Amino acid sequence: MNCKKAQSFMMDYLYGEIEPHKQATLKAHLQECPKCAEELAAHRATIATFKELRPEEPSSQLVGKVAAAAAEDIRRQESARAPRVWYWKPALAAAGIAAVVLISLAHFLPLNTRSARPVNNLIAMKKNEKTFGDQKARSMSSESVGAQRAAPSRVIDDESAGKDIIAKDREAKTSRDLGIVSSQRTESVEAQYAAPSRIAEDETVTAEGRKSATASRYDEIAPSQDAHNEAAGAKTERLGETFAAKGIPPDSKAGTEPVLGDRQQQLAFDKNIPKEYRQEERKNLASPPPSAPVGQAGLAQAGRAAEEPAPPMTAGASAPLRSDGVVVEADRMELAASPAKQQEILSDIEKTTKEKTDSVTESSKLSAAGELKQRKVPDEFARGNAYFEMRDFRRAATSYEDFIARKPQGRPAVEAMHRLGLSYQELGQFEKALSVYTEIIDNYPDYSDMGNVLMAAGDCYLTLGKTEDAIRTFEIASEKFPGLHDVARQKIEAAKEKTRITNRALPK
């Protein structure tokens, strides 16, 4: 056994940790090596001297405070446990409802934006409305006017078209109310569904009570008066506003509408329409009726309209006008002259809507990515701080390095650098720490904790043997930060003392 091994065994022996066979080996070595024997005796005496030193006792007040803190912690946790049982259920229920709403919106909204069917339904409804108006203008009594007036409403409520439109219109409104969909998307939906929704509102869309409601409404109108024309006239006033917004004279657009092609099929769903009226409708379907004039302008042109071929689709009573006065794309559909033109515009709308939807999706993705990025950056900083507090400086340094690599701005950036420097210092990597501190000093002169950065940099210089740099750094800290003056002066004196000792130790 050599002396080095014996010294290790000595420590075990002195504190009763040595194993028997090692003790025998040590004993044999001590008999041969007087130097180690002397050292062992000295250690034993030193230990005996310090053995009797009584440790200080903490005050009973301090111990009581700690015990109270522990008891309080248990009490707090137990009391916090009970309410949690109460509150998580409503929270879960709310989250569930929110999830259902979001899923519903996610399911229906894309259909709304892409599907052309609502636009076709809109056209169909408008045509139906005009057809009934035309028939009524020609032959119906005031009572039957009410019934006829109700008919378009029923068409709206039709399973194949009306419900779809109304439901989607409501969804669009719900979406706006919830503020979930983007403004672009809302615009698109609004553009497509504004017209049907207005019709639905105008026609008092209540399934069973519609007929009586419509009748009572129209009972107020003089039987001899053309109720539909009056209503249409009122609508034309609104349309006039729309045209004014578009710069188009209302008169030039008001006119008659073509008859709906699949009218018969739609009527089959309307069980409330009297049988005789349906028969008359079928006759009309067999030979398309002349278009009825709409509104005041339409009335003025009524005679002419009877001979002329159907003019381009009227903007109708429900041309969508957004609050900002911009007429949306659905207008174009209503103003289209031919089915081919309608199809073309529809394709255009679809394309535009898809672009908008894609744009929204893309922007949402980008936004989400941005949020993720934004969220991730503080996570790294927070992770670094957590490791720093746990004194796991290696991981703390890695986290701060990752954070800084993202080139963050502002106070978190400089704080991360400061903590990175401290972490390096704790890890004994003084060169790296110094490099970080230098960067802070150069780039963040207004950093609020600059005093401590300077002091830490000085410590690094001192440890690295760069005493002059250390003294200079401490002097700057002392001058710039009066609060650190005394400490800095002490450090400067210590550094100078170290220099003196070093110089003395160096051979001349």
Partner 1 sequence: MDRLDRNVTDETLMESYAGGDAGAFEELLERHRRPLFGYLCRMLGSRELAEDTFQEIFIRVINSRVTYKNTAKFATWLYRIAHNSCVDALRRENYRKTESLFQPVDPRGDPLTGSRAGAANGGEMLIQDVVAGSDPGPDEQLARKQLSETLKKCIERLNPEQREVFVLRQYQNLPFQEIGRVVGASESTVKSRMRYALNNLRSMLVAENIPEGVTL
Nearest Cα neighbor of 397 from 431, 430, 434, 427 is 427
Nearest to partner 1 of 237, 493 (CB atom): 493
Q: Which DSSP string corresponds to 6-73?
A: HHHHHHHHHTT---HHHHHHHHHHHHH-HHHHHHHHHHHHHHHHHHTPPPP---HHHHHHHHHHHHHH
CA distance 80 to 291: 74
Q: Give the residue with the Cβ less far from partner 1, 206 or 502.
A: 502
Q: Which residues, listed in sequence order, are joined to residue 321 by a DSSP beta bridge?
A: 327
Question: Per CB under 8 A, does 57 bind partner 1?
Answer: yes
Residue 261 contacts partner 1 per CB under 8 A: no
Q: Are 229 and 298 within 8 A, CB to CB?
A: yes
- In the complex with partner 1, the residue whose CB is nearer, 115 or 463, is 463
Is residue 38 involved in binding partner 1 (CB under 8 A)?
Answer: no
Question: Which lies closer to partner 1 via its Cβ, residue 42 or residue 326?
Answer: 42
Q: Please tell me whether residue 65 binds partner 1 under the rule CB under 8 A.
A: yes
Residue 491 interacting with partner 1 (CB under 8 A): yes
**Contact indicator for 135, 281 with CB cutoff of 8 Å:** yes
- 502 is a site residue for partner 1 (CB under 8 A): no
Which phi and psi angles does 347 have, rounded to 5°? Answer: -60, -40
Question: Is residue 22 involved in binding partner 1 (CB under 8 A)?
Answer: no
Write out the two tokens for 93. Answer: 């229920």
Instruction: Confirm or reject binding of residue 50 to partner 1 (CB under 8 A).
Output: yes
Residue pointed to by tokens 């290790």: 8
Contact status, residue 166 vs residue 200, Cβ threshold 8 Å: yes
In this structure, the number of other CB atoms found within 10 A of the CB of residue 400 comes to 29
DSSP tag of 254? -
Considering the complex, what minimum distance in angstroms separates the CB of residue 423 from partner 1? Answer: 12
CB of 464 to partner 1, least distance (A): 11
Tell me: does residue 66 bind partner 1 (CB under 8 A). yes
Q: Which is nearer to partner 1, 21 or 51 (CB)?
A: 51
C-alpha pair distances (Å), 95 with each of 92, 100, 104, 253, 449: 5, 9, 14, 50, 43
Dihedral angle of Cα 33, 37, 38, 39, to the nearest 10 degrees: 100
Q: How far apart are CA 270 and CA 273, in angstroms?
A: 6
How near is the Cβ of 184 to partner 1 at its closest, in Å?
A: 48
Q: Which stretch binds partner 1 (CB under 8 A): 66-74, 84-92, 197-205, 274-282?
A: 66-74
CA distances from 394 to 36, 427, 453 (A): 40, 7, 20
Our separate counts of H helices and E strands in the chain read 23, 0
Decide: is 375 part of the binding site for partner 1 (CB under 8 A). Answer: no
Q: Pick the closer one to partner 1 by CB: 45 or 178.
A: 45
Counting contacts by CB under 8 A, is residue 58 touching partner 1?
yes
Q: Of the ranges 3-11, 263-271, 299-307, 408-416, which one interacts with partner 1 (CB under 8 A)?
A: 3-11
| Interaction of residue 490 with partner 1, rule CB under 8 A | yes
Which segment (54-62, 170-178, 284-292, 406-414) binds partner 1 by CB under 8 A?
A: 54-62
268 binds partner 1 (CB under 8 A): no
Give dist(CA 189, CA 505) in Å, integer.
87
Among 2, 20, 34, 70, binds partner 1 (CB under 8 A): 70
* Residue recorded with tokens 């991360």: 416
Q: How far is the CB of 463 from partner 1 (least distance, A)?
A: 6
What tokens does 136 get?
Answer: 């009524």
C-beta closer to partner 1: residue 55 or 410: 55
Residue 452 interacting with partner 1 (CB under 8 A)? yes
Q: Does 134 bind partner 1 (CB under 8 A)?
A: no
Annotate each residue in 456-485 with x if it binds partner 1 (CB under 8 A) or - if it does not, as one string. ---x--xx--------------------x-
Residue 10 binds partner 1 (CB under 8 A): yes
Query: Toward partner 1, which CB reaches closer, 42 or 94?
Result: 42
Residue 196 CB, nearest distance to partner 1 (Å)? Answer: 59
Q: Considering the complex, state which of residue 17 and residue 237 has its C-beta at the smaller distance from partner 1.
A: 17
Contact 331, 320 (CB under 8 A): yes
* Residue 13 to residue 215: CA distance in whole angstroms: 111
Spatial separation of the C-alpha atoms in residues 27 and 428, rounded to whole Å: 40
Interface residue with partner 1, options 2, 15, 445, 504 (CB under 8 A): 15
Task: Select the residue interacting with partner 1 from 47, 93, 102, 386 (CB under 8 A).
Answer: 47
Stretch that binds partner 1, among 139-147, 206-214, 379-387, 488-496 (CB under 8 A): 488-496
- The answer to whether 239 and 231 have CB atoms below 8 angstroms apart is no
Q: Which residues make up the interface to partner 1 (CB under 8 A)? A: 7-8, 10-12, 15, 17, 42-43, 45-59, 62-63, 65-67, 69-71, 73-74, 77-78, 391, 452, 455, 459, 462-463, 484, 487, 490-491, 493-494, 497-498
